Amino acid sequence: MGVANEVSSTSAARPAAGTAGSAAAAHRGGTATRSAAVLPQPDALAEDALVLGLDVGGTTIKGEITDAAGTVLAVGTVVTPQGDAAFEVMGALGDQLLAELTEEQRARVGRAAVVLPGIVDAVRSIAVFSSNIGWRDFKIGDRFLDRWGVPVLIEHDVAVAGWAEWRFGAGRGYDNVCVVILGTGISGTLSVGGRLVRSSYGQVGEYGHIPVRANGLPCPCGNIGCVETVASGASIARAYTRRTGHEIDGAAEVFARVETDPDAAAVLDDAVEALADGLIGIVHAACPELIILGGGLAGAGAALTEPLHQAIAKRLRLVPAPHVVLGEFGARAGLTGAALFARQGALA
């Protein structure tokens, strides 16, 4: 079964050139949208089948081959190049992982999943747009299927990560869950009434591009003062450097200094306030029981969950404040989700 037939997502029109916003707008403007039509589902895998999962990020591409119990049989990480070159590197990483298996193990690999950032048209197998990596309208087609010799699912990285946290991680047993993936960018998923909410063109929540600072910094998306300009990992590190004049390695260093460094505490407070401002409308609209924090910044633990819960609670009058918890998969949510997605065959 070809890639284009393996995931039900969208068959909207090809986006025009321009900013991320115009790409999304053009994609929405197609005549076809997500509908009640159900595409053929992938065949169920054998119980002993292995799966290959790739999680493509703005900095690195991570890959694993795992069995049904989640045991990792091959693992690798490579730097993400800019533009279309990233897809050749994805293919090469998959080749490397498959080459590490025995002949018997290689024969058991039943399916793969590649999860991508930005705007993704899974039905037509197109990487529509990524501002961080710099590709646009790249037709993936069957290039991975032909290269690896197994059916390959293509999906949005955050959709898969959020689905995995909701169905198999910290959100198990809850029907109304907001997952926020914090890292190079900020986005997430929303599950309402036991269903994963997707837009008409297949996307999930672009929480990082909700404007929250009228006089804030310009965002790569073209807007001003988006949540990402204050609360993403890179933005937190840059804010600390602007405030103190000291270069640091990343946001983790800011979190590590919070207890003893007033500048670090002030930067974190600003990030938490921006994140709360961005999420408050979602809380009012959908009343999630849980907000789950995933991605690289979730490693901050209680230094992030507790102040975010308090910041959201102080903004609410009519609806209960959701619990704010850490995801079980942390920075591995995308990679774990890719493996689960490959095994399940759909975001069901």
SS percent in the chain: helix, strand, coil, step 5: 40, 20, 40
Helical packing angle, 157-168 and 333-344, nearest 10°: 80
CA atoms within 13 A on the CB side of 60: 11
Report pLDDT digits (tens) over 288-325. Answer: 999 999 988 888 888 899 999 999 999 999 999 999 99
CA–CA gap between residue 92 and residue 230 (Å, rounded): 35
Whether 9 has a pLDDT exceeding 50, the answer reads no
Phi, psi of 245 (to 5 degrees): 80, 5
pLDDT at 11 over 90: no
Q: How many angstroms separate the CA atoms of 219 and 2, rounded?
A: 37
Tens digits of residue pLDDT in 157-166: 999 999 999 9
Determine the pLDDT at residue 130.
Answer: 86
- Is the pLDDT at 35 greater than 90, yes or no? no
Q: What is the pTM of this model?
A: 0.83
Spell out the domains of the chain, with CATH numbers in brackets: 3-162+333-344 (3.30.420.40), 171-327 (3.30.420.40)
Under DSSP, is residue 76 helix (H, G, I), strand (E, B) or coil? strand
Residue 196 in this model has a pLDDT that exceeds 70: yes
Q: Which letter does DSSP use for residue 300 in this model?
A: G
